[in-house]
Amino acid sequence: MIHWNSFADFLAMGGYAGYVWGSFGATALILILEPLFIIRRRKETISRLKRQMRAELASSSRNSVE
């Protein structure tokens, strides 16, 4: 089933190693980094909104006339 005779053959990609692994590597990098960035931004957003909410609660309890 497997087309390659050895792992070294697989890595060499018939002389096209730089091109093939350059493509797959860049794709893998982007497809992994993009979700990580989104998750980080989501965490930042949640903690910022929580902080804002606490600040609002604090200020509304102080001047409860409003």
Residue 8 binding other proteins, by CB under 8 A: no
CB atoms within 10 A of CB 21: 13
CA distance 61 to 66: 9
Rounded to the nearest whole angstrom, what is the least distance from the CB of residue 15 to other proteins in the complex? Answer: 7
- Tokens linked to 64: 């409860």
- Tokens linked to 66: 């409003």
Residue 23 binding other proteins, by CB under 8 A: yes
Q: Which parts of this chain interact with other proteins (CB under 8 A)?
A: 1-4, 10, 13-16, 19-20, 22-24, 26-27, 30-31, 34-35, 38-39, 41-42, 45-47, 49-50, 52-53
